[in-house]
Amino acid sequence: MTLTTPRSRRLTGAALLAAVALATSAAAAMASVDPGTPDKDIHIGKDNDNASNPFIQPPGVAAPQHMNDTDLLFGRGNADLLVGGKGGDTLLGGAGPDILVGGPDRGGDRRDDVLVSDDGDDVAVWSPGDGNDIVDGNAGTDTLVVGPVLTTAGGGMPSHARISMIDAVGATVICCTPTYALRLAEIAAQDWPVDHLKNGPVRILIVAGEPGGSIPATRRRIEESWGARVIDHHGLTEIGPVSFECWESPGFLHLNEGEYICEVRDPVTGEETVDGQPGELVITNLGRTASPNIRYRTGDIVVRRREPCGCGRTWARLEGGILARADDMINIRGVNVYPAGIESVVREMVEVVEFRSIVSRIGAMRALRMEIELAPGADGTALASRLAADLRDVLGLSIPVKVVAPGTLPRFEMKASRFVVEE
């Protein structure tokens, strides 16, 4: 697939045809040519033969000009959906945010698509196998999604089947929680040859849903298990995708300040914190249709840095990603404890396969204890003592650590629940 510069004004070939078609709207309302209306339109290509349409007949050419399986779709209203068929299609968006989808090619017959957006925030999508496609983005913020891309959903199948599917389709990017990346690695180590995932096709794991992607020990374990790069990502259902990690700065999340006003405020006083000091991320989304949020308290504890990044972006970054959740904090004998803080200590011990923190109440005081599962052959007594010492050094608490039998602790495919509070 060959693409011109998205914002370019160079329109050639089929795009010139589209321009002619705009000037001859009377001839355009035929067969598979859909001129659109002033309302919000949904146009689906019909893959008809356009030979009878006079606007494609060049002057002085006697032979009919066939454009089999080709559509010309117009968007005139505010927010149109234009979906091409299986041929080479020309899609012209109208005012407002449009979605333009170039149709897939028919078999080995590669056709060229032309997608021309107008004012507004538009999304242009190419299907796999397209020929030499052209996109022309106009005013507004345009998103370009370029194929060929094979996206395989893994829901509703067991973990063994997911690993087999990764091998079968040659998946190069996996999207999951950090917990599930580690769970798949655990299963592969048990039931596949040594270093199976390292020798596999996956080169990137995009993780989200938990702080683990920016916890150095958790991140390191995932990357070593898979032989692939971890990219952390963060978002909220109520707000949208808020931050992302660039390739040049692992462990930092860029705030998408083109779409959000991001503040970091003291969760108690509400005062804005200075860069380098922890606070709660507060977000106002600017362009999410039908879901506005003004100064939404995310509950995410972060440290903001404004220094320019090596990738060239000038947006602020979150050092260490999402450090903790304000509502996850538990006070144990006067010490504020966060689940992410415990995980950062436990994941440094490669012999620990799984763990659980249990908070119980003894009289008026809360107490914390740990349960851990170990890899085969590990010295349970020595490791339990070592972990207890590490937790005491980092948290300032004496935490009993108990080694449990393999398979005792639950495994998670989505967000983990390793921090249990017994009231």
pLDDT of 102 strictly over 70:
no
Q: What is the DSSP string of 92-122?
A: E--SS--EEEEPPPBTTB----EEE--SS--
The domains found in the chain, sorted by start residue, are 14-145 (no CATH), 159-326 (3.40.50.12780), 329-421 (3.30.300.30)
What pLDDT sits at residue 334? 83
For a pLDDT cut of 70, what percent of the chain falls above it?
63
pLDDT tens for 333-370 read 888 888 888 998 999 999 999 999 998 887 778 889 99
Mean pLDDT, residues 292-303:
92
What pLDDT sits at residue 269? 92
What pLDDT sits at residue 144? 47
- Choice between 11 and 108, residue whose per-residue pLDDT is larger: 108
Side chain identity at 421, as an amino acid letter? V
Q: Quick one: pLDDT band at residue 182, thresholds 50, 70, 90?
A: very high
What pLDDT sits at residue 335? 86
Q: Quick one: pLDDT band at residue 374, thresholds 50, 70, 90?
A: very high
Instruction: Specify which of 75-89, 355-369, 375-389 reaches the highest per-range mean pLDDT.
Output: 375-389
Rounded Cα–Cα distance for residues 114 and 15 (Å): 6
pLDDT tens for 285-296 read 887 777 789 999
CA quadruple 404, 406, 407, 409: dihedral, nearest 10: 30
Phi-psi region at 227: left, alpha or beta (left = phi > 0; alpha = psi -120 to 50): left
pLDDT of 2 strictly over 60:
no
